[in-house]
Structure 1
Amino acid sequence: MSYSLPGPKAEAILQRGNAVFRSGGNYQKRVAAAVQAGKSQRPPQTIFAKAEGDFLYDVDGNRYVDFQNGWASNPCGNANPEVIEAVYAAMKQYGFCYEHPLRYELAEKLLPMTPYGHHTRLNYEVSGTEAAEAAIHMALCARKARFIISFDKCFHGMGMGTKLVSGYSSESTRYMEAWKGGVLKAPFPSAYDAPADMDIEQYVDYCLWHLETRIPSYDVPADLIAGVIIEPGLAEGGNWLPPKRFMQGVKRICEKFGWLFICDEVLTGLGRTGKTWGIEHFDIKPDILVIGKNITGGIEPIAVVTATEEVLGDNTYSSSGSTYAGTPAGCAAALKTLEIYERDQVVAQAAHLAEVAAKRMALWPEMFAIVGEVRNLGMLMSAHIVDPNTGEASVNWGMSVGDEALRRGAFVVNDHENTIRLYPSLTMREETLLEGLGLIEEAIRHVEQQGPLGQDDDVYYPHYYTGFTGY
């Protein structure tokens, strides 16, 4: 089975989008460049007409197993009817107003659920980006210091502040270079980036040395650094999973210098990694926790920052929040989602599905020359795609696998990267999970036999599936 994409209805909508959205003209230029280079097949695109449970349906009637999952925001499946009903009831009763009782009910429900239950204060935000920026300002004000440390490959959002803190790529902050004065970058031990032929253990030692010795000795005195912000798994950076020794080393260094440990769990939190919080895999108590995505079942935007009494009990100077932070609908969605988690044992179900997927995906590096490795932590799943001729990570081979998976009915995350990432709902039916993994295997096999669509990143014009794409 292979869909012809885009279908006629999707094509008509996409043409409208190219005329009005950001950088829409860029897509046509890249298409022309690919045609001139002799590429006969355009990357697939589509427009979705319906999302339901484990599936998406496009405007031309094609069905897809949903591994994109609202960018990991729909833990209980697409358009969960219970959450929608709770949101509707809240909107009907409260509309949008401040100081409604649901704000307090959610705070009292959520704080005991934080890692090891030692957080006592929280603040509502709208998005993960806002929450990460708020957490950083809280740390700066709590420690009365001016610098924050983040890590290579990290991603904390697309706001002005979080772009500067993120280590996604130098291109993501083009023309903003001069704004990075308060951000210190530390290396993250991803195996494919180890310098000087280091093995992973040597690279961990180097990364910890850089954090503990190089930065405070040569960059900024330790007492001017407020803390570090880190993800338990670098999701947007390619699902890189840190060794436990590295994470515990970071925490030890924080305690040594009095730095705050900020844990960004926007994508890894609330069951995505097979535990309620990703940081629980490392036996670490964070000082500040950033929460988003899963908390409202993908229906309403809300995010939360929680922290210890020391950080938020009397933090005079930090300020955050926005007009729609902690709306009645958002709080109602979160309360219902957490109720479903408890009632249906969602985290345990996710852990079971993760074992099923890991067993299947572990075979891929042996089955396929273009799969360098798989990296799985719970339902944070990925395949690292390489050029079979060089063994090097390849954006073009990776994007081609993502494209071919879409044609075969599996919607994966491939954000212009060499890695294909899978974020299924935490309640996906096991047979659907296996069906989707089978479709991805077909896609990998096809690309391995036929080669990538492009030869280099300048020729391989963007796909991005839904919409005109401005990349």
Structure 2
Amino acid sequence: MVDDILRTPGAVRDAERWTAHNYHPLPVVISSADGAWLTDVDGRRYLDFLAGYSALNFGHRHPQLIAAAHAQLDRLTLTSRAFIHDQFADFCRELAELCGKDLVLPMNTGAEAVETGIKVARKWGYQVKGVAAGQANIVVAEGNFHGRTTTIVSFSTDEDARADFGPYTPGFTVVPYGDLDALAAAIDENTVAVLLEPIQGEQGVVVPPEGYLPGVRRVCTERDVLFIADEIQSGLGRTGATFACDHEGVVPDMYLLGKALGGGIVPVSAVAANADVLGVLKPGQHGSTFGGNPLACAVAIEVVRLLATGEFQRRSAELGERLRAGLEGLVGKGLVEVRVRGLWAGLDIDPALMSGREACERLMERGVLVKDTHGSTIRLAPPLVVTEEEIDLAVAQLAAVLAG
């Protein structure tokens, strides 16, 4: 922390005093928000170019989503899956239709969706493919980020996420991201799935080579292996399409969804797949007390309906081109490389200039909030309700920071 930029040192220090230090937040204390803007406890406004790691694709307090939450809060919030509530079927049906799949399994967090996908793939492998008991393996990619449970960090290549959390869960083979030959070579008779992010967000919005995802789809089909797409960050309009896989016309066997599905109001995640895959689960084999609860479903129904119009996907695609143009103009002026897909960008800053953390702190001083990832890389992910003027403002502030 840099004390000379702390506007609310008491609140920041209190937060650090009473919580485990598993995060290193920027020293700003937010008290309210609307659309693409945040306001701190001292009344200063900030342009939000992180959007809760894409959990706030529709901006802060979207009126349609807030109205759905308020209406549901007055009626019913939780039943557990021991009973059926009146929002459940509509949510599952409308999300399944958006995904083009038969079935949906609702959960709460992204990590839970990933764990669910792993369990389903293994069970499918044993019951449908005929893999010998206890031998199932899943191929994953270097640089992945699928969550931080003990199973998921077992196949992470990020030592911050992985180190000292062993013993590690077996059953995973790690290959270089974007290398189709390595992926194909890693598949054997016991492989049940390939689990990939169509764009690696935590790694710095890394877009795979053209043709890679169609190649993965082809190999999985030929080798009788499930293709699981982790679209928890990349999905639901972020990249200028409903799913990042859509850019190359690829349909995975299983979508893992989360973040934006809860509208920035409640945690909601889901697995979507056809009946020949999700149908392997039987009562008692998987579940969650809060998964698919009435409040979550009521909000998520409205999220799906917002996406069904195509408006937000179009906004992301069109405004993403404006963002790309602005950022590419800064290459050679402090930026080494930019990667943009829709309203999602990874920026590599010249490490001789500053670290990613330093860039975020300086942008915060100028009223723009973003987040660094590894080294001198930062990510931009504004809400899809952002305007052209707000994009231009953020790019201008970044240019000023890079210019010193």
Give the TM-score of the pair, scaled to structure 1.
0.79
Give yes or no for the alignment of 1:298 onto 2:264: yes
Structure 1: 5+ residue runs without aligned partners?
28-42, 190-206, 217-221, 390-395, 447-471
Q: Deviations over 1:46-84 (max 9, x none)?
A: 111111111111112221110011221112211223211
The one-letter code matched in structure 1 to 2:208 is P
Give yes or no for the alignment of 1:174 onto 2:163: yes
1:136-285 equivalence runs, <5 A: 136-144=118-126, 145=131, 146-167=136-157, 169-189=158-178, 207-213=179-185, 215-216=186-187, 222-285=188-251
The partner residue of 1:431 within 386, 389, 397 is 389
Distance 2:400 2:85 in 1: 51
Structure 2: 5+ residue runs without aligned partners?
none
Higher helix share: 1
Distance 1:299 1:311 in 2: 30
Is contact 2:137–2:191 with CA below 8 Å preserved after alignment?
yes
Q: Structure 1 pair 344/211, CA: closer, same or farther in 2 (3 Å)?
A: closer
* TM superposition shift of 1:335: 1.3
Give yes or no for the alignment of 1:63 onto 2:48: no
Distance 1:128 1:443 in 2: 33
* TM superposition shift of 1:209: 2.3
Is contact 1:56–1:63 with CA below 8 Å preserved after alignment?
yes
Question: Displaced runs of 4+ in structure 1, greater than 4 A?
Answer: none
Counterpart in 2 of 1:382?
Answer: 346
Give yes or no for the alignment of 1:91 onto 2:73: yes
Q: Secondary structure at the match of 1:223?
A: coil
Q: Deviations over 1:2-26 (max 9, x none)?
A: x96211xx200122222221149x9
Distance 1:127 1:67 in 2: 22
Counterpart in 2 of 1:202?
Answer: none
The partner residue of 2:90 within 93, 102, 105 is 105
Q: Deviations over 1:344-364 (max 9, x none)?
A: 712111111111111111111
Is contact 2:229–2:255 with CA below 8 Å preserved after alignment?
yes
Q: Structure 1 pair 351/293, CA: closer, same or farther in 2 (3 Å)?
A: same
Q: Deviations over 1:259-307 (max 9, x none)?
A: 1100000011111000111101122110011011112211111111011
Give the TM-score of the pair, scaled to structure 2.
0.91
Counterpart in 2 of 1:458?
Answer: none
Is contact 1:229–1:263 with CA below 8 Å preserved after alignment?
yes
Q: Structure 1 pair 210/383, CA: closer, same or farther in 2 (3 Å)?
A: same
Distance 1:433 1:440 in 2: 11
Q: Structure 1 pair 44/95, CA: closer, same or farther in 2 (3 Å)?
A: closer
Counterpart in 1 of 2:403?
Answer: 445
- Larger C-alpha radius of gyration, 1 or 2? 1
Counterpart in 2 of 1:128?
Answer: 110
Counterpart in 1 of 2:301?
Answer: 335
Q: Deviations over 1:370-394 (max 9, x none)?
A: 31110001111121123249xxxxx
Give yes or no for the alignment of 1:21 onto 2:10: no
Q: Secondary structure at the match of 1:242?
A: coil
The one-letter code matched in structure 1 to 2:6 is P
C-alpha root-mean-square deviation of aligned residues, in Å?
2.2
Corresponding pairs, count: 391
Q: Structure 1 pair 426/443, CA: closer, same or farther in 2 (3 Å)?
A: same
Distance 1:378 1:102 in 2: 31
Q: Secondary structure at the match of 2:255?
A: strand
